[in-house]
Amino acid sequence: MSRKKSDRFALSRALSNVLESGKPLYETIKGKWNEIMFEKQQPIVLELGCGKGEYTVGLAQVFPEKNFIGIDIKGDRIAVGAKFANENSLSNVAFLRTKIHQLLDFFEKDEISEIWITFPDPQPLKSGIKRRLTNPRFLELYKEILQNDGLLHLKTDSELLFDYTLEVLPSFGVEELVYTKDLYNSELNVRHYGIKTRFEQIFTEKGYNINYLSAKFKHIS
């Protein structure tokens, strides 16, 4: 492991806006995020597979009236976003180091108002379908923790992943599904908010279109 990566892991362990295994709140935070981690009781938004947290902190700056949690398993990446949030006094930002399939260990039913999935690994091989973050096993988790009017967002350069997601979503009875395969030249570009991750910058410079969708899960009352 490089010295730089080692220092970031140490920083992740030290920062108070990062929850990871071994920290006191890691096993008791479920259902208490607004009560314990944030200064204000506000709607909670997740970014899954957040990497260095560019979208997490970007959205937090655009929407101070919401609380944001970036989730990733790689502590050295999380440390970058967490440090930026601290240095810029973003009290509406936190990070959680865990795997996405463990979401129910950290969030109660209906605790989340929105979920963003930004440029995830498309897992193009057939053997990787179960690891796609819009696979039904993951969508079931999102449906469980999202509020009745909660939004799921997906941004990706991968047309394969995007088409796969559009095929899978109807089986969940989603409503208010909107999408575009060319976000920057669409009326939905207002949802871009001027935020570009490093990967998004790379993809757009290479001429790739950005795919975007949002939808709500139907909940049986």
Active site residues: 121
Return all residues near 144 (Cβ < 8 A) that are at least 6 apart.
104, 109
Alpha carbon of residue 27 to chain centroid: 20
Cα(135)–Cα(24) distance, rounded to whole angstroms? Answer: 32
Strands 93-97 and 175-180 come out as: unpaired
Radius of gyration, alpha carbons of the chain: 17
| Residue 133 · residue 100 · CB < 8 Å | yes
What string of H, E and C letters represents the secondary structure of 67-79? Answer: EEEEEECCHHHHH
